Copies of this chain bind each other. A is one copy, B any other.
Amino acid sequence: MPDPDRRSDRARLAILGATTDLLAEVGYRRLSIEAIAARAGVGKQTIYRWWPSKGAVVFDALLEDAGATAEARALPDTGDIERDLRTVLRETVKELLDPDRDRIQRTITAEIQHDPVLAEELVARLLRPQMRATADRLQAAQEAGQLAADVDVDLAAELLFGPLFHRWLLRTAPLDARYADALVEHLLSGLSRPSERVQS
C-alpha cells in the first residue's frame, strides 16, 4: 500500500539502528516496538507501515549487520581441501563463540522457528550461500581428484555444518576448534572402512 519511493531513509536507518542497540541492551524478549519508535525518534506508524512484525524489523536490523560478515567469509582455496575446510569451520566456530554474534544469531534462530517466511529469507541470504560455497569448494577438490567421485558434496557440507550448529543451538556439548577439526577429519578420512562392514 505505501509508496516505497517516498520512504524516508532517515527513518529507516534510525529504526534499524535503534533496534540493534536495544537488542544488545535488553534482548529480544523485552524489545518493544514502542521502545524502538521512541529511541529512533519515529512514530510507531512508520514502523508498522514498513514492517509486518517485530521479528521482521529485528531480522532486517540483523541482516544489515550480518551482510558484510557473510561477504567477507568467502571460502579460501589454497589447493589443500583439508586446510581450507579447517579454516572455514574454525572461523564459523569462532564467530559463534563471540558473545555479540552469539546473541544475535540465537535471536534470529529463535525467531525463524515460528516464522517460515523469515526462515526462508535467512536461509536464502545467509545459510544457503555459505553451504553452497562449501559444497563448491568440495566439488573443486573432487574434480582435482582429492575426493572420491561418488561423493555428494551437498550432503558433505551438511555433515560439516550440521553437527556444528547442532552443538551450538542445542548446547549438547561445548563448541570449540577441536570439534571443528574432528568433523573435517572424519569427513575426509571416513569413519568406517567398507571392508569392515558386515553384509546387510
Chain A contacts to B: CB under 8 angstroms: 27-29, 80-83, 106-107, 109-114, 116, 119-120, 122-123, 127-128, 131, 145-148, 151-152, 155-156, 158-159, 161-167, 169-173, 182, 186-194, 196-198, 200
- Contact of A146 (CB < 8 Å), options: B164, B165, B197: B197
Q: A147-B192, A192-B187, A193-B190 are in contact. Are A155 and B182 (CB under 8 A)?
A: yes
Selected A-B contacts with CB under 8 Å, 11 pairs: A109-B113, A109-B170, A112-B170, A146-B196, A151-B192, A155-B186, A159-B162, A162-B164, A188-B192, A189-B190, A190-B193
Say yes or no: B155 contacts A162, CB within 8 Å. no
Complex contacts, A159 vs chain B, CB 8 Å: 159, 162-163, 186, 191
Say yes or no: A116 contacts B169, CB within 8 Å. no
Say yes or no: A190 contacts B192, CB within 8 Å. yes
CA distance A170 to B119 in the complex (A): 7
- Contact of A110 (CB < 8 Å), options: B80, B110, B164, B167: B110
- Contact of A171 (CB < 8 Å), options: B81, B119, B173, B191: B119
Complex contacts, A113 vs chain B, CB 8 Å: 106-107, 109-110, 169
Complex contacts, A29 vs chain B, CB 8 Å: 114
Query: Which residue from chain B places its CB closest to the CB of A195 in the assembled complex?
Result: B148
CA distance A147 to B194 in the complex (A): 9
- Contact of A188 (CB < 8 Å), options: B107, B112, B197: B197
Say yes or no: A156 contacts B191, CB within 8 Å. yes
